[in-house]
Chain A
């Protein structure tokens, strides 16, 4: 069952039928999936959701696929961890970590890819493709294998080794491009016009793909006992995830599943690629694209497609934005690991370091219920840690040697 009405242009409102199409014919604005909320209201309830599978598909009434069946590697319903140690370190009372390191390929991208490729199959598309900074590549490769689809995955050639390996192992075509992500993205935008019967998950099927991120909002609210948090911190790459988390909170309120949405949304970026944070901090009404220079490669999008909407969402929800250095993000990874036992990739380090900044600058208030979205697993970006991690000591294989270390 699907409650989708169609696609509408976010800029000018023109409507389009359901198809593999992502930009408005007239103004090039992004197309957004619209739903018949009155019809959904008649069938959905907290109980109907709670009776569903322990995956993103428990929210299938609010996703744009027909479930015939959906592609499923077990994505979603990841833990929402109460983070009391980190909270007391920062002077917060109620802090939670949405631990999306636990998805099948180790990042939130499994949410969007499950939806995108389920829809692609429904539309009769046989080839999966994407430009990626790594996490998406891992997820598309795995899901294409699961779906029996051919895959063409385009990544910057300088990607972390683990992300290359985790994309290649699933057997699709992995195309390393000599260029940065924005160049890979532009290449794919042009290729998608030539190979228009392929599913470029974040290009021509992007309207469906992006909807998958709403489940990050749905799960948090359900896991808080159907209460909205006061403030969430979300990393920004293209800006799509942040805007879709906002849409998710709105939908729950529209359907009467939660109280009215007053969640403040703050954005986290790496200083070496912070076009949205800089626009926010300088009060600009446009995003100036940048050439990325940061070890947070999964966030290194210099010309973010949804950057403008992310900026608008931060402003209208009363949130803030932070940009953190590579040094600060590495400290963020370490802080989260040692206080809460969660190992995040560089993007998670950006989120935690931004959380620290937003608390110390007073944007996040001590009495707010705060959720930080940790969207990728630390095992993927081990090399970013360099020589910052290693054994505490090296000893000889005898008791004396250890005791000597212990009483040093």
Chain B
């Protein structure tokens, strides 16, 4: 299944400047793995050495922070999009 992923400014040097990309995946983890295959280098920017989402990266499935869902194991339904957003904002 193809998923639309919104890419933050910080990562667009890895996606040929694209703000939105299409990748395959049924869970967030699969999407990240496939992002890394298509755009090498993006994986280490999103995940730390232990494979967990970096502290200052937020990922949203439609409108919900995946930390409130099943994290990287969150399943993605057809037509849903992912947004990667830097966490350092607000307050």
Contacts and interface: CB of A to CB of B under 8 A. Distances in A.
Given A25-B10, A26-B45, A28-B10, A305 B55 contact: no
A74 to B, nearest CB: 24
B91 A22 contact: no
A380 interface: no
Contact of B10 (A23, A301, A303): A23
A164 B91 CA distance: 17
B85 interface: yes
Contact of B45 (A27, A196, A288, A303): A27
B16 interface: no
B91 A289 contact: no
Interface string A191-203: 0110010001011
A202 B19 CA distance: 22
Interface string B17-57: 00100000000000000000000000001000000001111
Interface residues of A, number: 43
B63 A183 contact: yes
B90 A181 contact: yes
Given A301-B90, A301-B91, A289 B68 contact: yes
Nearest to B84: A28
Given A26-B45, A193-B8, A186 B88 contact: no
A218 B34 CA distance: 50
Contacts of B68: 289, 291
A237 interface: yes
B45 A131 contact: no
Contacts of A186: 58, 60, 65, 83, 85
Interface string A177-191: 001011101101110
Given A26-B45, A289-B68, A189 B85 contact: yes
Contacts of B10: 23-25, 28
Interface string A47-90: 00000000000000000000000000000000000000000000
Given A24-B10, A27-B45, A27-B54, A306 B91 contact: yes
Which of A31, A182, A186 has the most C-beta atoms of chain B within 10 angstroms of its own C-beta? A186
A294 to B, nearest CB: 16
B59 to A, nearest CB: 11
A247 B86 CA distance: 23
Given A182-B90, A303-B58, 16 more contacts: A11-B56, A23-B10, A24-B10, A25-B10, A28-B45, A131-B89, A186-B58, A186-B85, A188-B89, A189-B85, A190-B83, A193-B8, A203-B90, A206-B89, A305-B89, A308-B55
The list of the 4 closest CB pairs from A to B, nearest first, reads A238-B91, A185-B90, A28-B56, A23-B86
Interface of B: 6, 8-10, 13, 19, 45, 54-58, 60, 63, 65, 67-68, 83, 85-91
Interface of A: 11, 22-31, 131, 179, 181-183, 185-186, 188-190, 192-193, 196, 200, 202-203, 206, 237-241, 286, 288-289, 291, 301, 303-306, 308
